[in-house]
Structure 1
Amino acid sequence: MPAPLQNIDFIDLKKQYLRLKPEIDARMQAVLDHGQYIMGPEVKELEQQLAAYVGVKHAIGVSDGTTALQIALMALGIGPGDEVITTPFTFIATAETISLLGATPVFVDIDPATCNLDASLLEAAITPHTKAIIPVSLYGQVADIEAINAVAARHSLPVIEDAAQSFGATRHGKRSCGLTTIGSTSFFPSKPLGCYGDGGALFTHDDDLARRISQIRLHGQSQRYVHSAIGVNGRLDTLQAAVLLVKLAHFDEDVRLRGEAGARYTRLIEQAAHPHIRTVQVAEGNTSVYAQYTVLVPNRAKVIEVLKANGIPTAVHYPMCLHKQPVYAGTPLASQHFPHAELAADSVMSLPMFPDIDHALQAQIVEHLVAAVDSTL
């Protein structure tokens, strides 16, 4: 076993802050000076810049990524009796928001190479009750959107891209969040573009959907104290918008660094040629922002224990498929079987990953990974 490592962060947000400190401090001070903490001018400025970045007509800032999904579903009129197709291998928010509105999540298995929804299984899952499809762009790369959109178009179904982990990624040169009926993302601090609290955004080319989304995020308000729809308190606060404005200005550099760090991990692991370590593949035509760098290993719990003892933090996204979650026990979902998603849930493990990660450190982490897997076989 190589020599233990010390003081490694799984995600180092401090380095980025120190790099951007003068600009972030100045932007936040401007908000403190004008005092418009809710729906201040920075929110509108950010929305305009986000829309331009993604290449859509409309970007609407919201309070967080989960609320973004809920608002998207509400804007599409999803409710009791409806079904929404998605993946069982994702964070609970994807299915939770469907259930919260009284609709039923319907799961299809994942592509084992990318861990994203397998578009070839969609058609068979569609019923007369299907009202939308939510592919998740997991780990930093977009799902097979062309195939998903083609199936959706044949059945006149809207598609919501859950891009909580893929903002900044591209598919055939087009940016995540601008590829479907609605794009939804999160600005949670650990995301590729993260604020210093909760935040999110929705994206669309559709004027009517943009109007409905904007109303719903503000208690359904169409003008002051006139409520034309049932809505939620889903506003993005001004201080978070101020932070995001600075980070967005430097985001292309972060995306480049993330891409290089992810490719470096892949190269190192391929060079190690370990038969029991598999990487999540980046699909042809995709770029990834590597929200996580994820590998699949046997005996994961033991591997994690060995790595931890040697100073290397890890994370698991996600250890339990949604159909196996206790909240869905007693429902028809609980008895379903999705072999690729279930294998991934038992095997995935993410390594330390952030734009400023040291090259030599990555090599040491892979060396420890190989030794840890060997020690548990």
Structure 2
Amino acid sequence: MEFRGLKAQYQKYRSEIDESIHNVLQKGHFIGGSEVQELEEQLSKYQGVKHCITCANGTEAMSLVLMAWGIKEGDAVFVPDFTFFSTAEVVALIGATPIFVDVDQGTFNMDPVKLEKSITKVIQEGKLTPKVIIPVDLFGLPANYIEIKKIAKHHNLLILEDSAQGFGGKIGDKNAGSFGDAGTVSFFPAKPLGAYGDGGAIFTSDDRLAETITSLKMHGKGKNKYDNIRIGFNSRLDTIQAAVLLVKYRAFVEHELEDINKVAKMYDDELASIVKVPKIPQGYYSSFAQYTIKLKHTTDRDGLHNHLLNMGIPSFVYYHKPMHKQTAFSYLKYNDDNFTITNELCNTVLSLPIHPYLTEKEISTVVDNVKSYFNN
């Protein structure tokens, strides 16, 4: 059984993917080919923004935005404590300070109430200047942008939406990745829209920001690549990856997003009385990068994980360790008592197999084994 269904997806679209890759090989335009521009045009239209700028990966997508905004040492950037390392890593890498914020117990996303308290505390301490909020659309569910945008406006802060896992998620009719002043997505293979290698993109309707990012991602180029007007780096999406993504994007919008939500609904119906299933607030729509359940105790989580493993069913823990406990951030000296929800989640969550190609038989196998574990 596959955790994210990449092999099953390839078998279904093998001829289209192979042909798309072959076309790139025939043309020989491996960097900056027409497929890259076509992908950017299609994704910007889907997102309802003016610009989609592809790059090498989702981490560098966030780095490019922060660099373009001039975020630097002495600036505070607010990041959820329950997330992948890169969300905070990019902040520290440019010399700014990540300020970790505990998350909501139901959605696992950044808690707006705690965000407001964290901003107020930083202002009162006077050592750092609040500049940016980076909410994460965790496991495919958009963060609470209704409240977060109010807070950002009140404190005059920028919003960088980390939608690495969120592509396809929605609040109402608005897509994840389009809520912030800029949004980023990852094309890591296991993401909702994944390439066959690394890749990423930035979404924005800010013309000046888009121009600066386009320069930064190509060594700070000006009129051409030999006219360098700023210090940047090399962060481009390969043409072959764009060719793969064009095929997979069509599948994503035609049926995958709908199908993965059907799988999640089947899990909900069977497991809601046994474990805590994902909470999707009214008006929200998840792309289910992960289907993450919450157990009562660590022993339950670890026991179920091992039981599923013994039955040949993959499951994973996202995430074992909060940001504030990462060794790389030990210099920040956070108070562990301020992160009660994140600490609990790290000890009790488990992600089950989910993808658009999961069969009803496979779903039943997962469900039956979860039930049998608790029955025994």
Q: TM-score w.r.t. structure 1 length? A: 0.94
Rounded Cα–Cα distance in structure 1 between residues aligned with 2:360 and 2:105:
28
Cα distance per residue 1:258-311 (max 9 Å; x no partner): 1111111111112xx22xx21120121111111010101121222211111122
1:54 to 41, 47, 52: 47
Rounded Cα–Cα distance in structure 1 between residues aligned with 2:291 and 2:339:
23
SS at structure 1 position matched to 2:357: coil
2:338 maps to what in 1? Answer: 337
Residue 362 (structure 1) shift:
1.1
SS at structure 2 position matched to 1:226: coil
Unaligned 5+ runs, structure 2: 124-128
Percent identity over paired residues: 39
Rounded Cα–Cα distance in structure 1 between residues aligned with 2:327 and 2:375:
34
Most deviating of 196-205 and 18-27: 18-27
SS at structure 2 position matched to 1:60: strand
User: Which amino acid is the alignment partner of residue 230 of structure 1?
Assistant: I
Pairing 1:45-194 to 2, within 5 Å after superposition? 45-126=38-119, 127-128=122-123, 129-194=129-194
Most deviating of 112-121 and 362-371: 362-371
Residue 266 (structure 1) aligned with residue 268 (structure 2): yes
1:11 to 4, 10, 14: 4
2:126 maps to what in 1? Answer: none
User: Which amino acid is the alignment partner of residue 60 of structure 1?
Assistant: I
SS at structure 1 position matched to 2:132: strand
Residue 250 (structure 1) aligned with residue 248 (structure 2): no
Rounded Cα–Cα distance in structure 2 between residues aligned with 1:248 and 1:13:
14
User: Which amino acid is the alignment partner of residue 104 of structure 2?
Assistant: D
Cα distance per residue 1:13-50 (max 9 Å; x no partner): 11111111111111111111111111111111110011
Cα distance per residue 1:95-127 (max 9 Å; x no partner): 000000111100111111010001122222113
1:4 maps to what in 2? Answer: none
1:367 maps to what in 2? Answer: 368
Cα distance per residue 1:305-364 (max 9 Å; x no partner): 111112211011111101111112243236563000110111110001111001132122
1:289 maps to what in 2? Answer: 287
1:357 maps to what in 2? Answer: 358
Rounded Cα–Cα distance in structure 2 between residues aligned with 1:334 and 1:103:
20
Cα distance per residue 1:213-261 (max 9 Å; x no partner): 1111111112221122221211111100010111111212110111111
1:314 maps to what in 2? Answer: 315
Most deviating of 250-259 and 194-203: 250-259
Q: Which runs of 4+ in 1 moved over 4 A?
A: none
Unaligned 5+ runs, structure 1: 1-7
SS at structure 1 position matched to 2:90: helix
User: Which amino acid is the alignment partner of residue 101 of structure 2?
Assistant: V
User: Which amino acid is the alignment partner of residue 23 of structure 2?
Assistant: A
User: Which amino acid is the alignment partner of residue 91 of structure 2?
Assistant: I
Rounded Cα–Cα distance in structure 2 between residues aligned with 1:335 and 1:115:
17
User: Which amino acid is the alignment partner of residue 158 of structure 1?
Assistant: L
SS at structure 1 position matched to 2:13: helix
User: Which amino acid is the alignment partner of residue 164 of structure 1?
Assistant: A
Residue 159 (structure 1) shift:
0.3
Rounded Cα–Cα distance in structure 1 between residues aligned with 2:41 and 2:6:
26
Q: TM-score w.r.t. structure 2 length? A: 0.94
Rounded Cα–Cα distance in structure 1 between residues aligned with 2:118 and 2:62:
21
SS at structure 1 position matched to 2:334: helix
Q: Superposition RMSD on alpha carbons, in Å?
A: 1.3
Distance 1:117 1:148, change over 3 A: same
User: Which amino acid is the alignment partner of residue 217 of structure 2?
Assistant: R
1:196 maps to what in 2? Answer: 196
Number of paired residues? 364
